Chains A and B, each alone.
Chain A
Amino acid sequence: MSIQFYQLLLLLLLREALCVLLPCKPCWRTCLSQQTIPHTTSSGGDSEGKSKSADKSSRTRRLKHDIIEAVNELIQDITTCHEQIAEQAIEHIHQNEVILTLGSSKTVLEFLYAAKEKRRSFRVFVAEGAPRYQGHLLAKELVARGLQTTLITDSAVFAIISRVNMVIVGAHAVMANGGVIAPVGLNMVALAAQKHAVPFVVLAGSHKLCPLYPHNPEVLLNELRSPSELLDFGEFSDCLDFGSGTGSPLLHVVNPAFDYVPPKLVSLFITDTGGHNPSYMYRLIADYYSADDLVVRGRIASGN
């Protein structure tokens, strides 16, 4: 399940909840009172009481309307980001190029397909992306759309990278410093690309921007999935027979879902607003997050 799916779900739920809150006026009135006090200083006379309550209910509706509109805009952004990113494909993919990708990403699929539509002929190397092997699915879809595809293992990336013109990948999240939280294996690809001076391009919709600075991303921003994806439970229990003296198993199976790619390994971010340098990503954050939302203020309030 992609992050997009979860975000869409959340926004749709939020919109439904807002519509349902229509009869519940008192709570809106209290939150609006701070807003309305400076505005209603001018109206005078006996009708003030009546006009105030009328004002408040109209303000309630206006506030709700504004919020629902904003939520709709966000939903729109998320659903159309693929097309906007794919529009930029022909600027980056040229004739007779070799593209490398790992795992499967809908954004990358649309991107490559858009270039194919514009009659660019290129080849794609897909690394399978163990342990989920989503690269297999991507390879099948690319072939279905008529692209020349080669499937390789993750270990073969370093061997193939010198023959590749560009690496194009998707992202799970983009941090404020330009670092990327990406499916596991992509840090290795990025390092290989840097060694052979191959551009490492990350496709990310602007809804994937996160205002945090990663201080321990390998641990804190990661997800450890079930070890059964690596090792069957049957084989795992065989290994448990050889426990150490205290009874704890000698074999540990770790299955992280994400990798952190530092900003210096990324050449370009292609977002729905255009192509950007990793050091520029902090500016896009200002468009989506208000300074009040950021962690600094919250900490100060609790700390002091």
Chain B
Amino acid sequence: MWWRSPSFILDKQQSDTVPHQRNPRDTLPLPSPPPFSMADTLQNPNPENNISAYYQTRAAHHAVVTGDWLAQAQAAIGRDPDDSTDTTVATVAGKPFSVIDEFNSWRKQPELAEAVAAIRALAAVIRNCQATTMMELEIELKKSSDSLKSGDTTSISLTAGCDLFMRYVTRTSALEYEDFDSAKSRLIERAEKFGEISCKARRIIAMLSQDFIFDGCTILVHGFSRVVFEVLKTAAQSKKLFRVFCTEGRPDRSGLRLSNELAKLDVPVKLLIDSAVAYTMDEVDMVFVGADGVVESGGIINMMGTFQIALVAHSMNKPVYVAAESYKFARLYPLDQKDMVPALCPIDFGVPIPSKVEVETSARDYTPPQYLTLLFTDLGVLTPSVVSDELIQLYL
């Protein structure tokens, strides 16, 4: 007979003695971080808690505006003009070009996906590169890509986007061109094209999923996914009649923001707390979620709570549809919930919690493929079993 051993007591004791050793390893060799308060939370080295920068960004973009955030933003405004001139002066005056800075500046735009920001940053690397040979350029690109990836190990779309970009760009037969400059301009062209494809991906996905939304249907969505929002926006604009059940999406409460946006489009929205999903599932016709990453098994990694909703939907025979762009396909194969790089985010309960009480702060979970019905991607509509085929085609 096998039962769980109370080894968590031992683990806790060990982790209490270890944290102070983690600091030196986590700090990044950044040239000079911009003096912007949001950036402090955006950059990963938060060594005490190992907070995920990716989820911090998402929370920053889509979460409810809290008093603290407002105060921070106010304080930042005073320093903002300096910051923007700093970065522009930096690129002009020959300050060492930092891909991380470029990436962060792109990432601040809420409409831009993480991977697309990385792609644009890498395209900027090619543009600003001082190399004179192709090998040097490739090495520089690889170095920037690695530093971007190591800056935030928890973001799957960032890693996948960087990898796909490297493959896409270095596959150019630049050997045809004899001079370096035309080869470089061709690379830049391909990089821009890749960025554009990634931007158009959302519209393609929205177009594909229109058929699946019929008049009078009820859709359940979880958290704020920009792709799912695009899908719903397109459906609303083509005058389809449907209503949306929106979960709150604790801890960043991004569902509230989504319900705001949907209300602006005159779509009937009903907000639910995360625990009310099973209660309302019989009224729901389909579940639509986004994904932070699509893994090789065909499952998805998404905001915490997705697995729960998929389980409930599956037990009540409701289809679960996932909307994800193709650059989120990653070469990962998690075997269970804990088999991923931990991504933590701080949870604010509103009341002080005694220090003896542990809090589960993981920001994401893994939904196995058997609970998903279809995936809508810019490569077409796929069943979960097709994902591994598509991955092979993308990466080889």
Contacts and interface: CB of A to CB of B under 8 A. Distances in A.
A92 interface: no
A300 B204 contact: yes
A282 B207 contact: no
Given A296-B204, A300-B204, A280 B385 contact: yes
Interface string A2-23: 0000000000000000000000
B381 A213 contact: yes
B395 interface: no
Interface string B200-212: 0001100110011
Contacts of B374: 177, 213
Nearest to A281: B383
Contacts of A303: 203, 207
From A213, A280, A296, name the one whose CB has the most chain B CB atoms within 10 angstroms: A213
B386 interface: yes
A279 B386 CA distance: 8
Contact of A299 (B208, B214, B386): B208
A299 B207 CA distance: 7
Nearest to B382: A282
A178 interface: yes
From A178, A215, A283, A299, name the one whose CB has the most chain B CB atoms within 10 angstroms: A215
A178 B383 contact: yes
Contact of B203 (A176, A216, A304): A304
A294 interface: yes
Contacts of B382: 282
Contacts of A177: 374, 383
A215 B207 CA distance: 14
From B204, B385, B389, name the one whose CB has the most chain A CB atoms within 10 angstroms: B385
Given A279-B383, A280-B385, A282-B386, A215 B211 contact: yes
From B203, B211, B374, B389, name the one whose CB has the most chain A CB atoms within 10 angstroms: B211
A282 B214 contact: no
B35 interface: no
B19 interface: no
A91 to B, nearest CB: 24
Interface string B126-147: 0000000000000000000000
B383 A215 contact: no
A69 B77 CA distance: 71
B207 A300 contact: yes
Nearest to B203: A304
Contacts of A283: 389
B380 interface: yes
A303 B385 CA distance: 29
- Size band of the A side of the interface? 10 to 19
Contacts of A213: 374, 381
A166 to B, nearest CB: 24
Interface string B363-380: 000000000001000001
A249 to B, nearest CB: 25
Contacts of B203: 303-304
Contacts of B383: 176-178, 279, 282
Interface in B189-245: 203-204, 207-208, 211-212, 214
A296 B380 contact: yes
B59 to A, nearest CB: 33
A103 B207 CA distance: 39
A294 B208 contact: no
B260 to A, nearest CB: 27
A294 B207 contact: no
Interface in A254-292: 279-280, 282-283
A280 B203 CA distance: 28
Given A280-B385, A283-B389, A215 B212 contact: yes
A31 B51 CA distance: 60
Contacts of A282: 382-383, 385-386
Contact of A296 (B208, B214, B385, B386): B208
A304 B382 CA distance: 22
Interface in A171-227: 176-178, 213, 215-216
Contacts of A304: 203
A165 to B, nearest CB: 27
Contacts of B214: 215-216
A61 B383 CA distance: 41
Nearest to A302: B207
A299 B386 CA distance: 22
A283 B212 CA distance: 23
A104 to B, nearest CB: 31
A282 B389 CA distance: 10
B267 to A, nearest CB: 20
Contacts of B380: 294, 296
Contacts of B207: 296, 299-300, 303
Interface in A42-76: none
Contacts of A299: 207-208
B190 to A, nearest CB: 21
Nearest to B370: A264
B237 to A, nearest CB: 12
B385 A279 contact: yes
Given A215-B211, A215-B212, A300-B207, 12 more contacts: A176-B381, A178-B383, A213-B381, A215-B214, A279-B383, A282-B383, A282-B385, A283-B389, A294-B380, A296-B204, A296-B208, A296-B380
8 nearest A-B residue pairs (beta carbon): A279-B385, A215-B212, A213-B381, A215-B211, A177-B383, A299-B207, A303-B207, A282-B386
30 contacts: A176-B381, A176-B383, A177-B374, A177-B383, A178-B383, A213-B374, A213-B381, A215-B211, A215-B212, A215-B214, A216-B214, A279-B383, A280-B385, A282-B382, A282-B383, A282-B385, A282-B386, A283-B389, A294-B380, A296-B204, A296-B207, A296-B208, A296-B380, A299-B207, A299-B208, A300-B204, A300-B207, A303-B203, A303-B207, A304-B203
Interface of B: 203-204, 207-208, 211-212, 214, 374, 380-383, 385-386, 389
